[in-house]
A and B are shown apart, each in its own frame.
Chain A
Amino acid sequence: EAQVTQNPRYLITVTGKKLTVTCSQNMNHEYMSWYRQDPGLGLRQIYYSMNVEVTDKGDVPEGYKVSRKEKRNFPLILESPSPNQTSLYFCASSLAPVRPSGANVLTFGAGSRLTVL
């Protein structure tokens, strides 16, 4: 089944304890991205990646790191989590078609709910 898998789905941690949220897709997608969702603020993009070793900042990158060493994986790293990073996180991926067809539909993971105390 074509899917984007995020782990962990739920995590409670403490301020300053480094953590990584993993994201893996099995669709050979070039484009991958991370979003956070907070009440009243909708989905905001944290980072995105166009391909292996190519990443760029989204709208809210502060406090986060990412890496893209393999095409299928795009982990989100919180080096020193703080309470304002308590949120629901989504990973998403899509193709980047050679011909402009518009069919680069984003496929989302199920989400990871992170609480930083």
Chain B
Amino acid sequence: DAKTTQPTSMDCAEGRAANLPCNHSTISGNEYVYWYRQIHSQGPQYIIHGLKNNETNEMASLIITEDRKSSTLILPHATLRDTAVYYCIVRVARGYQKVTFGTGTKLQVIP
């Protein structure tokens, strides 16, 4: 059973912010939210993660709702190189578990 649900696809204009939603309504108190992206058929790459506070790094920002049932990944200024499939997963800190990725969101950045 998928623990997260994401829209199948989204478009974003180059230079604009891309906001990718993720629903994780059954998240447990000790589970973190992680985001990865996969460009073409390469191995997925880590972007950002968080528990309950908003997080920002050099790649993106992560906004987690107060009830932790959903989150949004924000790419502040999307470029053509951000065209990829984005996966949202939940995982406990110690990582001793199955990890379900689901089908992700295909983000197309349009010139």
CB neighbours of A106 from chain B (8 A): 34, 36, 44, 46, 99
Q: Are A100 and B94 in contact (CB under 8 A)?
A: yes
Q: How many residues of A contact B (CB 8 A)?
A: 37
CB neighbours of A48 from chain B (8 A): 97-99
Mask, B72-105, CB within 8 Å of A = 1, is: 0000000000000001000111111111111110
| Highest count of chain A CB atoms <10 Å: which of B46, B50, B93, B95 | B95
Q: Are B41 and A88 in contact (CB under 8 A)?
A: yes
Tell me what chain B mostly uses at the interface: helix, strand, loop, or mixed. Answer: loop
Within 8 A of A (CB), among B50-77: 50-51
Residue of B at shortest CB range from A3?
A: B43
Mask, A38-52, CB within 8 Å of B = 1, is: 001111110010100
Taken together as a complex, chains A and B put the C-alpha atoms of A110 and B99 apart, in Å, by: 18
Known contacts A31-B96, A94-B95, A97-B94; is A102 also within 8 Å of B45 by CB? no
Chain B contact residues, CB within 8 Å of chain A: 30, 32, 34, 36, 41-46, 49-51, 87, 91-104
